[in-house]
Amino acid sequence: MHTGTFIKKRQAIVETICYLYSILFLYTASSKLMGLSDFKLQLDRSEILGPFAEWIAWMVPLLEIVLAILLLTKVYRLVALYGSLILMTLFTSYIAWMLRFSDHIPCSCGGVISSMGWETHLVFNAFWVVLALIGIVLLENLKKINI
């Protein structure tokens, strides 16, 4: 049996996670778009992403903006959380792969985040992956309760 307070607390946590993700995505997308030429340059220097630099330089910030907007709307929140989880997992895997196999890691992140060390960046991203997972689990549970 779930009380009203229990449900409200869960809703508040999900809401907070979604807002935090929205702010993060809008912040990094804006930073990337403001320094688009430098962002392309950094991607160009990546051995894995270099051939797709032009395409990725536009797609990543646009995807972040779309996800940020969807996270702010209640209807598409769950889909957006899954999207955020996938995107953040891709970023984290890229950093982990580059840390393991590359002698030089080009920074293609946005704003002050680019001044983080790569190990710190990996922990930072892992934290966001966990946050998205918590949001998804709570929102799925809330959906079941409402049914």
Partner 1 sequence: MKTRFLKLVLPAFAILLAVGLAFATESNTVSQVAYYQTSSGVMEVTIGDDCEPNGDISCTYFGNQLYAEPSLSTPLGRNP
Using an 8 Å Cβ cutoff, are 56 and 63 in contact? no
Q: 11: which residues sit within 8 A by CB, 6+ positions away?
A: 142
Q: Which of 100, 95, 89, 140 is nearest to 122 (CA)?
A: 95
Which residue from 6, 8, 9, 19 is in contact with partner 1, where contact means CB under 8 A?
19
Residue 41 CA, chain-centre distance (Å), reads 21
**Count of residues binding partner 1 (CB under 8 A)?**
27
Distance from C-alpha of 102 to C-alpha of 104, rounded to nearest angstrom? 5
- The residue among 108 and 147 lying less far from partner 1, judged by its C-beta, is 108
Which of the ranges 28-36, 77-85, 128-136, 137-145 carries the binding residues for partner 1, by CB under 8 A? 28-36
101 binds partner 1 (CB under 8 A): no
104 binds partner 1 (CB under 8 A): yes
110 binds partner 1 (CB under 8 A): yes
90 binds partner 1 (CB under 8 A): no
42 binds partner 1 (CB under 8 A): yes
Q: 28: which residues sit within 8 A by CB, 6+ positions away?
A: 61, 64, 109, 110, 111, 113
Give the CB-side neighbour count of residue 102, counting CA atoms within 13 A: 16
94 binds partner 1 (CB under 8 A): no
The binding site for partner 1 (CB under 8 A) comprises 19, 22-28, 30-31, 34-35, 37-38, 41-42, 45, 47, 68, 72, 103-104, 110-112, 114-115
